[in-house]
Amino acid sequence: MAERPPIPIELRRRVLVEAGHRCAIHTCKHTDVDVHHIISWERCREHSYDNLIALCPNCHRRADAGYIDRKALRMYKARLTSSGISPEMASGAGGDDSKDEWRVVPLTESRAQLPSYEVEIEIPAFTAPDLDELNRMEYGWALTCLQSFRRTLIAPIQGALPESGSDPHHPAGYLSGTFAVMRCVETSLSLRYAMNEYRFGAMHGQTWFRTVTALRKPLVVLHFEDLFEAGSDFVQRVSSFAVDALLTSSESFDPDWVRRGAGPHLGNFTDFNISDDGLLITFPPYQVASYADGPQHVTVPWSLTRDVLNPAVRVLE
C-alpha cells in the first residue's frame, strides 16, 4: 500500500485557522490539536478541506473509535463554516436571552442500501405566533433538500459504487447543515444556513449557504434589491466596497476573479444578512476565490447605504 502523503501545509493551516487552532468541538476547544479525516484516509485516499477537521488528541481518539460519529463531525464542521458566528449562535442556541425564542429541529434520514446517503439538516422553530408561517417555509425548504438527495436513487452515477459489504458506515453521499440566527427582534429577523454536501462521484464536497432576511408582522421575506430605493446606485456602492475589502484581505486573490464575483450584478449578492453593523454578504467558494480559499464574508456598513435604503425597511438598520 502506498505511503500516505502529508497534508499540504496551506490546507493544514486553513483547517487550523478555521477552528482557531483549537478543537472544533465547541464544548472542548482544547488547544492541542490534530487534523482528522472525517471519512478515513483508508476510504477516501485524499486530503480535502471538506473532509478535514481539527480535533484534540482525546476527541480524535473518540472519533476513531466511533464514539463521535461522522454525522456529528460534519455538524461541527458546518458550525465552523459559519465563520464569524459564535458556536452558540451557529447551533441555534443563541445564548440565555434567546433560548425561549426558537428551538432546533433536526431533519434526518439515512439510507444503508447503495447508493447510500446521510442527510441531517438543523432548522429553527420559532415560538412567536407571527413566525409560524416562516417555520412552515423552512421545514418545506429542508424537505426539498431531502427530496434532492433521494434523487440519488434514480440519477445516473459516474464510476463504480463501493462494494455493498465494504463499509456499511461509508455513505455514497451526505448533506449536513446548521443555522445561525443573525437577528431576531420584534421588527425583523435574519438567518444563515451553512451547508456541507457530497454526492457520490463528485471530485470533492461542496460548501454552500442559504440566507433568509424578513420583516415581521406581517412576514415579508426580502430580496437584496428590496432593501434599497429603486433607481439608486446601491449595487455599485456595495460592489465597490466588497471588491476593495476582498482585495485588501488577501494579496493572493485574483483581482479579475474578485471583480467578477463581487461585481455590480444583483446575482452576486443573493446571500446576505443584516446585523447591527450593516449588511453581511457571504460569497461561497468559487465565487470570488478558489475552492481552497473557502467562503468569504464582507460586512458593508450601514453608513454606506443609509441614504438609499427603502423607507419601508429602515427598521432593519
pLDDT digits (tens, 9 = 90+) for 171-213: 567 888 888 888 999 999 999 998 888 776 666 678 889 999 9
For residue 172, what is its C-alpha cell?
455514497
Q: 0.85 cut: is pTM over it?
A: no
Share of the chain above pLDDT 70, in %: 85
Q: For the stretch 125-137, what's the b/e string if a residue is b when 16 or more beta carbons lie within 10 angstroms of its beta carbon?
A: ebebeebeebbeb
Report the CATH number at residue 143: 3.30.565.40
- Would you place residue 222 in the very low, low, confident or very high pLDDT band (cuts 50, 70, 90)? very high
Residue 82 lies in a domain: no
Alpha-carbon distance 31 to 187, whole Å? 40
Backbone φ and ψ of 78, nearest 5°: -65, -40
pLDDT at 128: 94
Residue 2 lies in a domain: no
Q: Are residues 207 and 279 in the same domain?
A: no
Report the CATH number at residue 233: 3.90.640.20
Mean pLDDT: which of 69-83, 106-120, 301-315 is highest? Answer: 301-315
Alpha-carbon distance 198 to 39, whole Å? 12
Q: Are residues 58 and 105 in the same domain?
A: no
Residue 76 lies in a domain: no
Which of 168, 175, 162 is closest to 122 using CA atoms? 175
Q: Are residues 232 and 312 in the same domain?
A: yes
- Would you place residue 82 in the very low, low, confident or very high pLDDT band (cuts 50, 70, 90)? low
Q: Are residues 99 and 198 in the same domain?
A: yes
- Residue range(s) defining the domain that contains residue 119: 87-157+167-221
Q: Are residues 51 and 102 in the same domain?
A: no
Alpha-carbon distance 92 to 193, whole Å? 10
